[in-house]
Amino acid sequence: MTMATGSGRPRGHAVRAKAAARFFKGMAGTSQIARLRQTQQSDRVISSHRPLTLAWSVSSEKQPDAFEVYRESLADMYDVRDVANGGRSGFFNATKVTRFGASVLGRGRSVGQKFVRDAQLVRRSGLDHVSITVNLTDGSGDFNGRSATTGGGSVQFRDLARPSASMTSAVDLVNLVVPRHVVPSWLLGRSFHGLTLSGEAAGARLIASHLCTLCDVADELTEDEGVAGVEATFVIAERFLGHQQAIAPLHTDAIQRTIRRRAMHLFDSAALPPASSAADVAEMIGVSRSGLYRAFEPMGGVMAYIRQRRLDRVYAALRSPAATPRAIDELARHHGFKDGAQMATAFCKRFGFAPHEVRPSLVGAPYGSAVNARGEMDRAAHDVFIDWLRVGEAV
């Protein structure tokens, strides 16, 4: 899976996309959600800020090691195989990604290749996300036992916590990757891994049009507007995937997602003491303990999720090339663990390898990366947006 730059669209698309984003944002701000006892403007640390954006354009003609760096940068998401000539000639990748809150939206183009995500890679990467992909070329794959064909214009849903293997004649796609904690329960409650909507279906055309436009105008949106656009994707999809309940912004699912979002920011902040209990977390965000437990049931429970978030941030800290080397014990205490041994045990159990085996990111390394006139780097940097996914909104 790659993501890359897309063609521009008329100004009218930007106006309509921003208006739609504001509309769906308004739907989310309902009276029931407002009943949460601490209504803060800091629910997200995003508001009117511009989103983070990253772009690159590489080819085997310009960079002899373009394919090797590309494959390595993508290694925590997919094992890339079956590229013509081993990527030594004829290979290219152009990608642009934008971070909207805890989600990442991207546009990608590259040569034909196979993407494999086996059980070992699922564990090693630690990504617990859902991917919605608009495929603009033909392909096929197996998604943990479900076979699927992806024709041009099709929309596919993938669970990154489950194995998959897919092949495409050429990469040309728009991809939205969303953490599980913000995905509506109506989707999580069904078998969606590999679910594909034909490009001829009205639902696929509407979802594809929405995501393509959102990608085209990403640079013109605030991060908050972009998050609203991401949420609107699920509102649209809900109508075409057999969910029959009326779409009501007052339903419990929206409230629980708001609780999870508030708790997530607290988990990632210095305001939460390492020894905090679930009751402490509930009090700090202004909800009942039972309400907090209910909100995190789909995530495996409150305390399990806190530990998962802390391990994700340890992983990202170990990968940062700009990070000051620190003793394992110091890193452990900073992220709420008793000592280095406790953290290392939990880390190995989660990811399947020890903390000292984490490979640092190459972005920002001493040799640096050049940037062309369009602001595109000359090296693939999928590993950067994968780290965005690991740490969520509190980047």
Q: What is the pLDDT of residue 4?
A: 47
pLDDT digits (tens, 9 = 90+) for 269-305: 666 676 677 888 888 888 888 888 888 887 788 888 8
| Pairwise pLDDT comparison (186 vs 8), residue with the higher score | 186
pLDDT digits (tens, 9 = 90+) for 359-374: 776 554 433 455 555 5
Q: What is the pLDDT of residue 41?
A: 34
Which segments of 129-246 does DSSP mark as H helices, in order? 185-188, 202-216, 223-240
On whether the CB atoms of residues 159 and 178 are closer than 8 A, the answer is no
- Please determine, for residue 308, whether its predicted confidence score (pLDDT) is greater than 90: no
| Cα separation values, 95 from 67, 144, 349, 382, Å | 14, 27, 33, 9
The angle at the Cα of 30, spanning 101 to 302, to the nearest 5 degrees, equals: 55
**How many Å apart are CA 255 and CA 265, to the nearest integer?**
16
| Pairwise pLDDT comparison (165 vs 313), residue with the higher score | 165
Nearest residue to 381 via CA among 167, 126, 139, 71: 71
Q: What is the pLDDT of residue 57?
A: 95
Confidence band of 55 (pLDDT split at 50, 70, 90): very high
For the segment 8-15, the average pLDDT, to the nearest whole number, is 46
Here the tokens at position 113 are 């290749």
Lowest mean pLDDT among 30-44, 118-132, 215-229, 250-264: 30-44
Mapped onto helix, strand or coil, the DSSP state of residue 385 is helix
Confidence band of 19 (pLDDT split at 50, 70, 90): very low
Confidence band of 37 (pLDDT split at 50, 70, 90): very low
Q: What single-letter DSSP state applies at residue 92?
A: E
Nearest residue to 63 via CA among 395, 384, 379, 391: 379
| Cα separation values, 93 from 85, 303, 378, Å | 15, 40, 10
Confidence band of 33 (pLDDT split at 50, 70, 90): very low
- Please determine, for residue 340, whether its predicted confidence score (pLDDT) is greater than 70: yes
Please count the other Cβ atoms lying within 10 Å of the Cβ belonging to residue 320.
13
Residue 274 phi, psi (nearest 5): -55, -30
**How many Å apart are CA 195 and CA 149, to the nearest integer?**
10
pLDDT digits (tens, 9 = 90+) for 223-255: 999 999 999 999 899 888 865 554 444 456 777
* Parallel, antiparallel or unpaired: strands 139-143 and 196-197: unpaired
| Pairwise pLDDT comparison (314 vs 374), residue with the higher score | 314
Q: Which domains does the chain have, with CATH numbers?
A: 11-249+362-391 (2.60.120.280), 253-319+322-357 (1.10.10.60)
Residue with tokens 């760096």: 69
Q: What is the pLDDT of residue 64?
A: 93
Q: Please give the helix or strand (H or E) that residue 281 lies within, else none.
A: helix 278-285
Residue with tokens 């214009």: 153
Residue 380 phi, psi (nearest 5): -65, 140
| Pairwise pLDDT comparison (192 vs 32), residue with the higher score | 192
| Pairwise pLDDT comparison (378 vs 221), residue with the higher score | 221
pTM, rounded to two decimals: 0.74
Percent with pLDDT over 90 in the chain: 44
Lowest mean pLDDT among 49-63, 202-216, 283-297: 283-297
Q: What is the pLDDT of residue 16?
A: 47
For the segment 164-186, the average pLDDT, to the nearest whole number, is 93
Residue with tokens 């479900």: 146
For the segment 174-192, the average pLDDT, to the nearest whole number, is 90
Q: What is the pLDDT of residue 270?
A: 61
* Range with the largest mean pLDDT of 29-38, 56-65, 239-248: 56-65
**How many Å apart are CA 307 and CA 296, to the nearest integer?**
13
The mean pLDDT of the chain is 81
Q: What is the pLDDT of residue 288?
A: 87
Chain center to CA of 69 = 21
Radius of gyration (C-alpha) of the chain in whole angstroms: 21
